Amino acid sequence: MSAAGEKQYVYARYQADVWVEVDPDEAAVTRVVVDDESMAEPVEVVTEDGSQAPVLLRRAVQQVLDTDTWPSWDYGIGPFWDP
């Protein structure tokens, strides 16, 4: 929590290899696999304002990422997407 007692979130950004199996004869995507080995560690960890998280916070976040069960994933644009 912040000094004001408001909950603040930290964001870990990953880049992953995604393998997509395509059947061109059927014009269909038949399988999608996210290569979890390509996601060993986040590329960056940022605070809600988009600034880099301090080292101790990054370490704490990495511990959570390594040990907690991840919920289902959403698809879309991330919180700091700047096209």
> pLDDT of 15-45, one tens digit each?
999 999 999 999 999 999 999 888 888 999 9
User: Are the C-beta atoms of 38 and 69 separated by less than 8 Å?
Assistant: no
Residue with tokens 């880049």: 15
- Per DSSP, 38 falls in state G
Q: What is the pTM of this model?
A: 0.72
How far is it, in rounded angstroms, from Cα 42 to Cα 61? Answer: 10
Question: What are the pLDDT digits (tens) for 68-83?
Answer: 998 988 878 877 765 4
